[in-house]
Structure 1
Amino acid sequence: MRRLARVPAAAEPEVLAVVAELARRLDERSADIAREMAFMMAHEIDQLDADAKLLEMLEASVQGNITTIIHVLANDIPIDHLQPTTAAVEYALRLAQRDVPSNSLVRAYHMGQGDLMRICHDEISTLDIPARLTLAVLKHTSDVVYSYIDWITLYVFDAYERERSRWMAAQGNLHSAAIHALLSGTNADTAAFEAETGYRLGQNHVALVVWSTWDADVMGINTLDRLVRDLGAAAGADKPPIITAIDRRTVWAWLPFGRRVPAPDPEFLAAAVPLDGGARVAIGLPGSGVDGFKRSHEQATAAYSVAAVPDTSQRPVVSFGDRGVAVVSLLSENIDSTKSWVWEVLGPLAEDTPSAASLRTTLSVYFAHGESHLHTANHMNLHRNTVKYRINKALGDPVAAGRDKLDLALALQVCELLGRSVLRPARTS
Structure 2
Amino acid sequence: MTAQAEAPVLGAALPAWARATAACVDLVALGRVVVQRDLEAAFPDLARNADFVERLRASVDENLQALQGVLTARLALEDVRLTQPLVFATVQARLRVPQTALQRSYRVGFAAMWQEWADHLCARAELDDIPRREALEALCALTVVIQGYQDHVASQVAESFARADDALSRSRAHVRNGLVRQLLGPGAAPLSPSDLVTLAYPLAATHVAVLLPTVAEGAAERLVQGMRTAARAAQGLLHPVDLSSTVVWLANPSGWQRHSHDALVEHLRLLDVQASLSDSRPGPEGLRETWLQVQQVQEVRNAWGPEQSPRVLRHADVGLEILLMQDRDRARSFVVDELGPLAADTEQAQRLRETLQTSFQLGSHVATAEALHLHEHTVRNRLQKAEELLGRSLQGRRTELQVALRLIRLLDR
TM-score norm. by structure 2 comes to 0.50
CA contact (8 A) 2:256 2:280 kept: yes
Residue 348 in structure 1 maps to residue 341 in structure 2 = yes
* Distance change >3 Å, CA 248–CA 255, structure 1 → 2: same
Answer whether contact 2:210 2:294 (CA < 8 A) is retained. yes
Q: 2:303 is paired with a residue of what secondary structure?
A: coil
Deviation for aligned residue 1:319: 0.5
Structure 1 residues 373-397: Cα deviation after superposition (integer angstroms, max 9, x where no partner): 3443454454432222121111221
Picking from 322, 329, 335, the partner of 2:328 is 335
Match of 1:300 among 285, 294, 304: 294
**Residues 234 and 252, structure 2, Cα contact 8 Å, conserved in 1:** yes
C-alpha distance in structure 1 between counterparts of 2:175 and 2:303, whole Å: 30
Match of 1:178 in 2: 179
Alignment partner for residue 195 of structure 1, among 194, 197, 201? 197
Question: What corresponds to 1:210 in structure 2?
Answer: 212
Q: Which residue of 1 aligns with 2:310?
A: 315
Tell me the TM-score normalised to structure 1 length: 0.49
In the alignment, is the contact (CA less than 8 A) between 1:346 and 1:399 conserved in 2?
no
Deviations 1:133-165 (A, max 9, x none): xxxxxxxxxxxxxxxxxxxxxxxxxxxxxxxxx
CA contact (8 A) 1:282 1:300 kept: yes
Q: Any conservation in 2 of the 1:204–1:289 contact (CA below 8 Å)? A: yes
* Equivalent of 1:268 in 260, 266, 269: 266
The corresponding residue for 2:280 is 286
Tell me how far 1:398 sits from its aligned partner: 3.5
Name the aligned partner's letter for residue 305 of structure 1: E
Partner of 2:71: none
1:407 deviation in Å? Answer: 1.5
Residue 104 (structure 1) aligns with? none
Q: What amino acid is the match of 2:295?
A: T
Q: Does 1:367 align with 2:360?
A: yes
Residue aligning to 2:162 = none
Q: 1:226 to 1:309 in 2, by over 3 A?
A: farther
Q: What residue identity is the alignment partner of 2:177?
A: S
How far apart, in 1, do the equivalents of 2:285 and 2:299 lie? 21
Query: Is the CA contact 1:284–1:297 (under 8 Å) kept in the aligned structure 2?
Result: yes
Count the aligned residue pairs.
Answer: 238
* Aligned amino acid, residue 388 of structure 1: R
Equivalent residue for 1:398, pick from 370, 390, 393: 390
- Listed one character per residue, the Cα deviations across residues 64-102 of structure 1 (whole Å, up to 9, x for unaligned) are xxxxxxxxxxxxxxxxxxxxxxxxxxxxxxxxxxxxxxx
SS state at 1:199 partner: coil
- CA gap of 1:236–1:285, structure 2 versus 1, over 3 A, is same
Asked if the contact 1:300/1:320 (under 8 Å) is kept, the reply is yes
Contact 2:172 2:198 in 1 (8 A): no
Structure 1 counterpart of 2:256, which letter?
A: V
The residue type paired with residue 222 of structure 2 is: R
Which segments of 5 or more consecutive residues in structure 2 lack a partner in the other structure?
1-169
In 1: Cα distance, 2:345 partner to 2:224 partner:
36
Please list the CA deviations of residues 299-326 of structure 1 after superposition, one character each: whole Å capped at 9, or x if unmatched. Answer: 222211211226352422110011xx11
**Aligned mates of 1:327, 1:363 — CA distance in 2:** 19
Are 2:400 and 1:407 equivalent residues in the alignment?
A: yes
AA aligned opposite 1:303:
V
Cα RMSD (Å) of the superposition?
3.0
Where do residues 15-34 of structure 1 align in structure 2 (5 Å cutoff)? Answer: none
- Return closer, same or farther for 1:317/1:228 CA change in 2, 3 Å cut-off: farther
Q: Which amino acid in the other structure matches residue 272 of structure 1?
A: L
Q: In 2, are the aligned partners of 1:210 and 1:228 still within 8 Å (CA)?
A: no
Structure possessing the higher radius of gyration over alpha carbons: 2
Q: What residue number does 2:368 align with?
A: 376
Equivalent residue, structure 2, for 1:107: none
